[in-house]
Structure 1
Amino acid sequence: MRTRVKICCIGSPREAELAISAGADALGLVAAMPSGPGPIADELIADIAAASPPAISTFLLTSETSAASIAAHIDRTRPTTVQIVSHIAAGDAAELARLRPHIRRVQVIHVEGPQALDLVPAYSPFVHAFLLDSGRPGAATPELGGTGRTHDWSISAAFVAASPRPVFLAGGLDAGNVGEAIRRVRPFGVDVCSGVRRNGALDLTALRDFMRAVRAADES
Protein backbone atom coordinates (compact mmCIF):
# COMPACT_ATOMS: atom_id res chain seq x y z
CA MET A 1 0.00 0.00 0.00
CA ARG A 2 1.29 3.46 -0.88
CA THR A 3 2.03 5.63 2.14
CA ARG A 4 0.09 8.88 1.96
CA VAL A 5 2.00 12.10 2.61
CA LYS A 6 0.63 15.16 4.39
CA ILE A 7 2.75 18.30 4.26
CA CYS A 8 1.87 20.42 7.26
CA CYS A 9 2.46 24.06 8.23
CA ILE A 10 1.61 25.30 4.73
CA GLY A 11 1.98 29.06 4.95
CA SER A 12 0.96 30.43 1.56
CA PRO A 13 -0.64 29.51 -1.78
CA ARG A 14 2.87 29.18 -3.23
CA GLU A 15 3.85 26.62 -0.56
CA ALA A 16 0.65 24.73 -1.29
CA GLU A 17 1.58 24.60 -4.98
CA LEU A 18 5.10 23.35 -4.19
CA ALA A 19 3.77 20.61 -1.90
CA ILE A 20 1.21 19.45 -4.45
CA SER A 21 3.73 19.47 -7.30
CA ALA A 22 6.08 17.32 -5.19
CA GLY A 23 3.36 14.69 -4.76
CA ALA A 24 1.67 15.55 -1.47
CA ASP A 25 -1.71 13.94 -0.87
CA ALA A 26 -2.77 16.43 1.79
CA LEU A 27 -1.98 19.92 3.07
CA GLY A 28 -1.93 20.84 6.75
CA LEU A 29 -3.23 24.35 7.50
CA VAL A 30 -2.45 25.40 11.05
CA ALA A 31 -4.84 27.78 12.78
CA ALA A 32 -4.12 29.63 16.04
CA MET A 33 -2.23 27.46 18.54
CA PRO A 34 -0.85 28.00 22.06
CA SER A 35 2.64 27.15 20.73
CA GLY A 36 4.46 25.71 17.74
CA PRO A 37 5.23 26.76 14.16
CA GLY A 38 3.11 27.65 11.21
CA PRO A 39 -0.16 29.27 12.33
CA ILE A 40 -1.92 31.33 9.68
CA ALA A 41 -5.12 33.35 9.65
CA ASP A 42 -8.43 31.61 9.11
CA GLU A 43 -9.00 33.74 6.00
CA LEU A 44 -5.80 32.41 4.43
CA ILE A 45 -6.70 28.85 5.39
CA ALA A 46 -10.03 29.30 3.60
CA ASP A 47 -8.31 30.72 0.51
CA ILE A 48 -5.80 27.87 0.26
CA ALA A 49 -8.49 25.24 0.87
CA ALA A 50 -10.71 26.74 -1.81
CA ALA A 51 -7.89 26.83 -4.37
CA SER A 52 -6.68 23.27 -3.79
CA PRO A 53 -7.53 20.60 -6.40
CA PRO A 54 -10.32 18.18 -5.45
CA ALA A 55 -7.89 15.26 -5.16
CA ILE A 56 -5.90 17.06 -2.44
CA SER A 57 -7.16 16.84 1.14
CA THR A 58 -6.99 20.09 3.09
CA PHE A 59 -6.61 19.62 6.85
CA LEU A 60 -7.65 22.39 9.22
CA LEU A 61 -5.60 22.03 12.41
CA THR A 62 -7.82 23.42 15.15
CA SER A 63 -7.11 23.86 18.84
CA GLU A 64 -10.81 24.29 19.61
CA THR A 65 -12.10 21.67 22.04
CA SER A 66 -15.91 21.76 21.98
CA ALA A 67 -18.04 20.32 19.20
CA ALA A 68 -19.76 23.66 18.61
CA SER A 69 -16.54 25.67 18.39
CA ILE A 70 -14.87 23.11 16.12
CA ALA A 71 -17.92 23.11 13.84
CA ALA A 72 -17.82 26.92 13.70
CA HIS A 73 -14.11 26.81 12.83
CA ILE A 74 -14.85 24.38 10.00
CA ASP A 75 -17.53 26.72 8.69
CA ARG A 76 -15.10 29.67 8.65
CA THR A 77 -12.38 27.82 6.75
CA ARG A 78 -14.12 25.17 4.60
CA PRO A 79 -11.49 22.38 4.63
CA THR A 80 -12.13 18.82 3.53
CA THR A 81 -10.81 17.51 6.86
CA VAL A 82 -10.52 18.75 10.42
CA GLN A 83 -7.54 17.69 12.53
CA ILE A 84 -8.39 18.00 16.22
CA VAL A 85 -5.09 18.58 17.99
CA SER A 86 -6.32 18.34 21.60
CA HIS A 87 -7.60 15.24 23.37
CA ILE A 88 -11.23 16.35 23.44
CA ALA A 89 -14.02 14.71 25.38
CA ALA A 90 -15.53 11.66 23.70
CA GLY A 91 -18.93 13.32 23.98
CA ASP A 92 -17.71 16.26 21.91
CA ALA A 93 -16.24 13.88 19.34
CA ALA A 94 -19.64 12.22 19.03
CA GLU A 95 -21.45 15.56 18.81
CA LEU A 96 -19.09 16.85 16.11
CA ALA A 97 -19.78 13.73 14.05
CA ARG A 98 -23.47 14.60 14.29
CA LEU A 99 -22.99 18.30 13.54
CA ARG A 100 -20.60 17.97 10.58
CA PRO A 101 -20.95 14.42 9.20
CA HIS A 102 -19.70 15.48 5.75
CA ILE A 103 -16.28 16.60 7.06
CA ARG A 104 -13.57 14.01 7.59
CA ARG A 105 -12.45 14.05 11.22
CA VAL A 106 -8.92 13.18 12.34
CA GLN A 107 -8.12 12.92 16.03
CA VAL A 108 -4.56 13.64 17.12
CA ILE A 109 -3.16 11.35 19.80
CA HIS A 110 -0.10 12.66 21.60
CA VAL A 111 2.06 9.63 22.34
CA GLU A 112 3.49 10.24 25.79
CA GLY A 113 3.38 6.60 26.85
CA PRO A 114 1.50 3.30 26.46
CA GLN A 115 -1.66 4.96 27.79
CA ALA A 116 -2.13 6.37 24.27
CA LEU A 117 -3.52 2.94 23.34
CA ASP A 118 -6.44 3.47 25.72
CA LEU A 119 -7.72 6.22 23.41
CA VAL A 120 -8.30 3.90 20.45
CA PRO A 121 -11.74 2.68 21.60
CA ALA A 122 -12.66 6.09 23.02
CA TYR A 123 -12.47 7.88 19.67
CA SER A 124 -12.75 5.20 16.97
CA PRO A 125 -16.56 5.34 16.67
CA PHE A 126 -16.50 9.06 15.91
CA VAL A 127 -13.47 9.71 13.67
CA HIS A 128 -12.25 8.75 10.23
CA ALA A 129 -8.55 8.54 11.14
CA PHE A 130 -5.97 9.13 13.85
CA LEU A 131 -2.72 11.09 13.76
CA LEU A 132 0.03 10.19 16.22
CA ASP A 133 2.19 13.12 17.33
CA SER A 134 4.72 14.08 19.99
CA GLY A 135 2.99 16.96 21.76
CA ARG A 136 2.57 17.56 25.47
CA PRO A 137 -0.99 18.79 25.91
CA GLY A 138 -0.61 18.90 29.69
CA ALA A 139 2.44 21.21 29.67
CA ALA A 140 2.21 24.68 31.23
CA THR A 141 2.09 26.00 27.65
CA PRO A 142 0.42 23.15 25.79
CA GLU A 143 2.36 21.63 22.90
CA LEU A 144 -0.13 20.39 20.34
CA GLY A 145 2.14 19.69 17.38
CA GLY A 146 5.11 20.95 15.42
CA THR A 147 7.58 19.93 18.13
CA GLY A 148 10.19 18.40 15.81
CA ARG A 149 10.50 15.48 18.26
CA THR A 150 10.01 11.81 17.58
CA HIS A 151 8.23 9.58 20.08
CA ASP A 152 8.33 5.86 20.88
CA TRP A 153 7.54 4.20 17.56
CA SER A 154 6.93 0.85 19.25
CA ILE A 155 3.85 2.40 20.86
CA SER A 156 2.86 3.86 17.49
CA ALA A 157 3.17 0.43 15.87
CA ALA A 158 0.97 -1.08 18.58
CA PHE A 159 -1.55 1.73 18.03
CA VAL A 160 -1.67 1.02 14.28
CA ALA A 161 -2.22 -2.68 15.01
CA ALA A 162 -5.06 -1.90 17.45
CA SER A 163 -6.82 0.82 15.46
CA PRO A 164 -9.78 0.08 13.19
CA ARG A 165 -9.13 3.47 11.56
CA PRO A 166 -6.24 4.61 9.34
CA VAL A 167 -3.34 6.15 11.25
CA PHE A 168 -0.99 8.96 10.23
CA LEU A 169 2.43 9.21 11.90
CA ALA A 170 3.92 12.60 12.77
CA GLY A 171 6.59 13.93 15.08
CA GLY A 172 10.17 14.72 14.10
CA LEU A 173 10.07 13.03 10.70
CA ASP A 174 12.51 13.98 7.94
CA ALA A 175 14.16 12.39 4.92
CA GLY A 176 16.70 10.68 7.15
CA ASN A 177 14.29 8.77 9.39
CA VAL A 178 10.96 8.51 7.58
CA GLY A 179 11.93 5.27 5.85
CA GLU A 180 12.67 3.56 9.16
CA ALA A 181 9.47 5.02 10.63
CA ILE A 182 7.38 3.56 7.82
CA ARG A 183 9.02 0.15 8.09
CA ARG A 184 8.59 0.01 11.86
CA VAL A 185 5.12 1.54 12.26
CA ARG A 186 3.42 0.79 8.93
CA PRO A 187 1.16 3.85 9.09
CA PHE A 188 -1.47 4.73 6.51
CA GLY A 189 0.28 8.07 6.06
CA VAL A 190 3.07 10.30 7.33
CA ASP A 191 2.94 13.95 8.31
CA VAL A 192 5.85 16.40 8.19
CA CYS A 193 6.38 20.04 9.08
CA SER A 194 9.83 21.03 10.38
CA GLY A 195 11.55 18.22 8.45
CA VAL A 196 10.90 19.95 5.11
CA ARG A 197 11.32 23.57 6.22
CA ARG A 198 14.44 25.74 6.31
CA ASN A 199 14.59 29.22 7.80
CA GLY A 200 10.82 29.23 8.27
CA ALA A 201 9.96 28.37 4.66
CA LEU A 202 9.12 25.19 2.78
CA ASP A 203 12.36 23.96 1.22
CA LEU A 204 11.99 22.29 -2.16
CA THR A 205 15.15 20.18 -1.84
CA ALA A 206 14.16 18.87 1.60
CA LEU A 207 10.64 18.24 0.34
CA ARG A 208 11.84 16.23 -2.65
CA ASP A 209 14.28 14.26 -0.48
CA PHE A 210 11.43 13.44 1.91
CA MET A 211 9.15 12.26 -0.88
CA ARG A 212 11.91 10.08 -2.35
CA ALA A 213 12.55 8.51 1.06
CA VAL A 214 8.84 7.70 1.49
CA ARG A 215 8.61 6.09 -1.94
CA ALA A 216 11.80 4.10 -1.37
CA ALA A 217 10.33 2.74 1.87
CA ASP A 218 7.14 1.77 0.05
CA GLU A 219 9.17 -0.21 -2.47
CA SER A 220 11.38 -1.98 0.08
Structure 2
Amino acid sequence: MSKVILITGASSGIGAACARHAVKAGHKVALAARSLDKLNDLTEELGDDNALAIECDVTYPDQQKAMFDKAVEHFGQIDVVFANAGLGASAKGTENGDVENFKEMILVNNYGVTVTAKHAIPHLKKSGGHLILTGSKAGHINIDGSVYGATKWFIRGYADNLAAELSGTGARVTNINPGMVDTPFFDEEKPDALRPDDIARAFIYAIEQPSHVEIPSIQIYPK
Protein backbone atom coordinates (compact mmCIF):
# COMPACT_ATOMS: atom_id res chain seq x y z
CA MET A 1 0.00 0.00 0.00
CA SER A 2 1.42 3.37 -1.01
CA LYS A 3 2.16 5.76 1.85
CA VAL A 4 2.82 9.50 2.02
CA ILE A 5 6.09 10.05 3.88
CA LEU A 6 7.40 13.36 5.24
CA ILE A 7 11.17 13.38 5.79
CA THR A 8 13.14 16.15 7.50
CA GLY A 9 16.85 16.45 6.82
CA ALA A 10 16.08 15.02 3.39
CA SER A 11 18.61 16.86 1.21
CA SER A 12 21.47 14.35 1.60
CA GLY A 13 22.73 11.32 3.49
CA ILE A 14 20.21 9.13 5.31
CA GLY A 15 17.21 11.30 4.47
CA ALA A 16 17.90 11.33 0.74
CA ALA A 17 18.60 7.58 0.68
CA CYS A 18 15.33 6.86 2.49
CA ALA A 19 13.49 9.05 -0.03
CA ARG A 20 14.97 7.12 -2.95
CA HIS A 21 14.14 3.74 -1.43
CA ALA A 22 10.63 4.92 -0.52
CA VAL A 23 9.82 6.05 -4.05
CA LYS A 24 11.30 2.84 -5.47
CA ALA A 25 8.94 0.94 -3.15
CA GLY A 26 5.95 2.88 -4.50
CA HIS A 27 5.54 5.56 -1.84
CA LYS A 28 5.25 9.36 -2.12
CA VAL A 29 7.64 11.68 -0.29
CA ALA A 30 7.56 15.24 1.01
CA LEU A 31 11.20 16.28 1.38
CA ALA A 32 12.16 18.99 3.86
CA ALA A 33 15.52 20.64 4.61
CA ARG A 34 17.22 24.01 4.67
CA SER A 35 18.98 23.36 1.33
CA LEU A 36 16.22 23.96 -1.21
CA ASP A 37 18.56 23.61 -4.20
CA LYS A 38 19.54 20.08 -3.15
CA LEU A 39 15.90 19.21 -2.50
CA ASN A 40 14.90 20.44 -5.93
CA ASP A 41 17.60 18.27 -7.52
CA LEU A 42 16.37 15.24 -5.58
CA THR A 43 12.74 15.95 -6.46
CA GLU A 44 13.67 16.18 -10.12
CA GLU A 45 15.46 12.83 -9.83
CA LEU A 46 12.49 11.16 -8.14
CA GLY A 47 9.81 12.79 -10.29
CA ASP A 48 7.32 15.55 -9.51
CA ASP A 49 4.51 13.00 -9.16
CA ASN A 50 6.41 11.24 -6.40
CA ALA A 51 8.18 14.00 -4.48
CA LEU A 52 7.65 17.50 -3.13
CA ALA A 53 10.47 19.81 -1.98
CA ILE A 54 9.79 22.01 1.06
CA GLU A 55 12.34 24.46 2.46
CA CYS A 56 12.28 24.25 6.26
CA ASP A 57 14.51 24.96 9.23
CA VAL A 58 13.22 22.63 11.96
CA THR A 59 14.23 25.04 14.72
CA TYR A 60 11.42 27.40 13.63
CA PRO A 61 7.95 26.11 14.60
CA ASP A 62 6.16 28.31 12.05
CA GLN A 63 8.25 26.79 9.26
CA GLN A 64 7.43 23.30 10.50
CA LYS A 65 3.71 24.07 10.57
CA ALA A 66 3.95 25.35 7.00
CA MET A 67 5.88 22.19 6.06
CA PHE A 68 3.06 19.95 7.27
CA ASP A 69 0.41 22.15 5.66
CA LYS A 70 2.19 22.02 2.29
CA ALA A 71 2.61 18.26 2.44
CA VAL A 72 -1.07 17.68 3.21
CA GLU A 73 -2.20 20.21 0.61
CA HIS A 74 -0.10 18.43 -2.03
CA PHE A 75 -0.64 14.77 -1.13
CA GLY A 76 -3.88 14.84 0.88
CA GLN A 77 -2.58 13.05 3.98
CA ILE A 78 0.54 12.00 5.88
CA ASP A 79 1.15 8.37 6.81
CA VAL A 80 4.79 8.43 7.96
CA VAL A 81 6.89 11.21 9.47
CA PHE A 82 10.65 10.70 9.64
CA ALA A 83 12.22 13.18 12.09
CA ASN A 84 15.68 12.82 10.63
CA ALA A 85 17.18 16.34 10.67
CA GLY A 86 20.30 16.37 12.81
CA LEU A 87 23.57 18.14 13.49
CA GLY A 88 26.93 16.83 14.68
CA ALA A 89 29.63 18.18 16.97
CA SER A 90 32.32 20.56 15.76
CA ALA A 91 34.79 19.21 18.34
CA LYS A 92 35.06 16.26 20.73
CA GLY A 93 33.86 16.51 24.30
CA THR A 94 32.56 19.33 26.43
CA GLU A 95 35.80 21.05 27.43
CA ASN A 96 36.98 21.39 23.83
CA GLY A 97 33.54 22.00 22.38
CA ASP A 98 32.01 25.24 21.19
CA VAL A 99 29.01 26.56 23.13
CA GLU A 100 27.28 27.82 19.99
CA ASN A 101 27.60 24.34 18.51
CA PHE A 102 26.09 22.92 21.72
CA LYS A 103 23.14 25.26 21.35
CA GLU A 104 22.58 24.46 17.68
CA MET A 105 22.84 20.69 18.24
CA ILE A 106 20.27 20.81 21.03
CA LEU A 107 17.95 23.00 18.98
CA VAL A 108 18.12 20.79 15.87
CA ASN A 109 18.53 17.34 17.42
CA ASN A 110 16.10 17.75 20.30
CA TYR A 111 13.89 20.84 20.13
CA GLY A 112 13.32 20.47 16.40
CA VAL A 113 12.34 16.82 16.85
CA THR A 114 9.79 17.68 19.55
CA VAL A 115 8.22 20.27 17.25
CA THR A 116 8.11 17.76 14.40
CA ALA A 117 6.44 15.22 16.69
CA LYS A 118 3.88 17.73 17.96
CA HIS A 119 2.77 18.59 14.43
CA ALA A 120 2.95 14.96 13.29
CA ILE A 121 0.76 13.41 15.98
CA PRO A 122 -2.68 14.63 14.78
CA HIS A 123 -1.94 13.45 11.23
CA LEU A 124 -0.60 10.08 12.34
CA LYS A 125 -3.51 9.43 14.70
CA LYS A 126 -5.85 10.13 11.79
CA SER A 127 -4.00 7.86 9.34
CA GLY A 128 -2.90 5.18 11.81
CA GLY A 129 0.57 6.22 10.80
CA HIS A 130 4.16 5.89 11.89
CA LEU A 131 6.65 8.29 13.48
CA ILE A 132 10.32 7.42 12.90
CA LEU A 133 13.11 9.14 14.85
CA THR A 134 16.80 9.07 13.97
CA GLY A 135 18.69 8.11 17.08
CA SER A 136 22.26 6.82 17.19
CA LYS A 137 24.53 4.24 18.71
CA ALA A 138 25.78 7.31 20.62
CA GLY A 139 22.51 7.14 22.56
CA HIS A 140 23.34 3.62 23.78
CA ILE A 141 26.94 4.05 24.91
CA ASN A 142 28.94 6.60 26.87
CA ILE A 143 31.26 8.87 24.86
CA ASP A 144 33.54 11.11 26.92
CA GLY A 145 31.87 14.50 27.36
CA SER A 146 29.84 14.18 24.17
CA VAL A 147 27.03 16.72 23.95
CA TYR A 148 26.04 15.14 20.63
CA GLY A 149 25.76 11.76 22.37
CA ALA A 150 23.58 13.32 25.04
CA THR A 151 21.19 14.65 22.38
CA LYS A 152 20.79 11.09 21.13
CA TRP A 153 20.17 9.76 24.66
CA PHE A 154 17.33 12.28 24.66
CA ILE A 155 15.96 10.81 21.43
CA ARG A 156 16.11 7.31 22.89
CA GLY A 157 14.01 8.32 25.90
CA TYR A 158 11.72 10.60 23.93
CA ALA A 159 10.84 7.83 21.47
CA ASP A 160 9.72 5.64 24.38
CA ASN A 161 7.68 8.51 25.83
CA LEU A 162 6.01 9.17 22.46
CA ALA A 163 5.17 5.49 22.10
CA ALA A 164 3.45 5.60 25.49
CA GLU A 165 1.55 8.75 24.52
CA LEU A 166 0.34 7.17 21.26
CA SER A 167 -0.55 3.80 22.78
CA GLY A 168 -4.05 2.81 21.71
CA THR A 169 -4.30 5.40 18.94
CA GLY A 170 -3.20 3.14 16.07
CA ALA A 171 -0.06 5.24 15.49
CA ARG A 172 3.40 3.76 16.04
CA VAL A 173 6.88 5.02 16.94
CA THR A 174 10.24 3.56 15.91
CA ASN A 175 13.67 4.83 16.88
CA ILE A 176 16.36 3.89 14.31
CA ASN A 177 19.83 3.91 15.87
CA PRO A 178 22.69 3.77 13.36
CA GLY A 179 26.32 3.37 14.16
CA MET A 180 28.72 5.48 12.12
CA VAL A 181 27.34 6.20 8.65
CA ASP A 182 29.44 7.54 5.78
CA THR A 183 27.50 10.72 4.95
CA PRO A 184 28.23 14.46 4.46
CA PHE A 185 27.81 14.59 8.27
CA PHE A 186 31.58 13.94 8.28
CA ASP A 187 34.28 16.03 6.58
CA GLU A 188 36.11 12.97 5.21
CA GLU A 189 35.08 9.54 3.93
CA LYS A 190 34.55 6.72 6.43
CA PRO A 191 35.23 3.52 4.44
CA ASP A 192 34.49 1.19 7.36
CA ALA A 193 31.18 2.86 8.20
CA LEU A 194 27.62 2.01 7.20
CA ARG A 195 26.18 3.49 4.02
CA PRO A 196 22.96 5.55 3.89
CA ASP A 197 21.34 2.75 1.89
CA ASP A 198 21.83 0.43 4.87
CA ILE A 199 19.69 2.73 7.01
CA ALA A 200 17.16 3.20 4.22
CA ARG A 201 16.54 -0.55 4.05
CA ALA A 202 15.84 -0.59 7.79
CA PHE A 203 13.53 2.39 7.39
CA ILE A 204 11.50 0.69 4.64
CA TYR A 205 11.36 -2.52 6.69
CA ALA A 206 9.90 -0.64 9.66
CA ILE A 207 7.25 1.36 7.82
CA GLU A 208 6.00 -1.58 5.74
CA GLN A 209 5.21 -3.85 8.70
CA PRO A 210 1.50 -4.69 9.13
CA SER A 211 -0.49 -2.65 11.64
CA HIS A 212 -0.35 -5.32 14.36
CA VAL A 213 3.48 -5.20 14.41
CA GLU A 214 5.33 -2.65 16.52
CA ILE A 215 9.09 -2.10 16.29
CA PRO A 216 10.18 0.21 19.13
CA SER A 217 13.78 0.46 17.99
CA ILE A 218 16.27 -0.79 15.44
CA GLN A 219 20.01 -0.89 16.16
CA ILE A 220 22.11 -1.06 13.00
CA TYR A 221 25.89 -0.95 13.40
CA PRO A 222 28.92 -1.51 11.15
CA LYS A 223 30.29 -5.03 11.51
TM-score normalised over the length of structure 1: 0.40
Q: Quick check: which one's helix share is greater?
A: 2
TM-score normalised over the length of structure 2: 0.40
